[in-house]
Chains A and B, each alone.
Chain A
């Protein structure tokens, strides 16, 4: 059972464009929604995260939008750059032991 569903599987965006990755979750006990960025040959690294009590969080060119009623959240990358080319994972976790459940990943390619 995939508790966090992510789309699209891959994405090609032109330099300067907006990249949008969407995720949906089922478990209403989730209370923390991080996004991870992974470059080839490296481990994932935390990019940005949001809690369900806010609808949007922005850090530089990266923005998370959160819709609690729809149980959906998305990552927007403004002014996408070739250096943003990576695989992005949405995730969700609950308190306690902090088990983190990941989406299936989106491979983003930003072309010049």
Chain B
């Protein structure tokens, strides 16, 4: 049982390049999330998807887009990467029966030069 799987684990981009972070969960959860983690700032919500077919902005959505491909998969796209997007990105999932309990992937470390 893999839980939440993120790819890639590491990525280096040049300013202006685009890329997509992939996330898949095998727990049949309805809700999925993308967070970014920066030193001294904790985890900040970028986008979330309460259920398949819906997505909503979180606290820091600028520069990102998301796609809830199906119930299992939730991708995060950077259309034109900027150095300010250098961060560790975490995907998470949850189920309404366990409110506030997020299951996280191991993270994707992105560096934008």
Instruction: Enumerate chain B residues within 8 angstroms of A65, measured Cβ to Cβ.
Output: none
| Identity of the chain B residue whose Cβ is nearest the Cβ of A1 in the assembled complex | B59
Residues of the B chain whose Cβ atoms lie less than 8 Å from the Cβ of A103: 42
Q: Which of B66-108 contact A (CB under 8 A)?
A: 90, 92, 94, 96, 99-102, 104-107
Q: How far is the CA of A45 from the CA of B104 in the complex (A)?
A: 7
The answer for the CA separation of A78 and B4 in the assembled complex, in Å, is 31
On whether the beta carbons of B31 and A43 are closer than 8 Å, the reply is no
Interface residues of B (CB under 8 A from A): 4, 31, 33, 35, 40-45, 48, 50, 56, 58, 90, 92, 94, 96, 99-102, 104-107
- Supplied contacts A43-B90, A44-B90, A98-B50, 10 more A-B pairs, CB within 8 Å: A32-B99, A33-B100, A41-B106, A41-B107, A42-B107, A43-B105, A45-B104, A91-B100, A97-B50, A99-B58
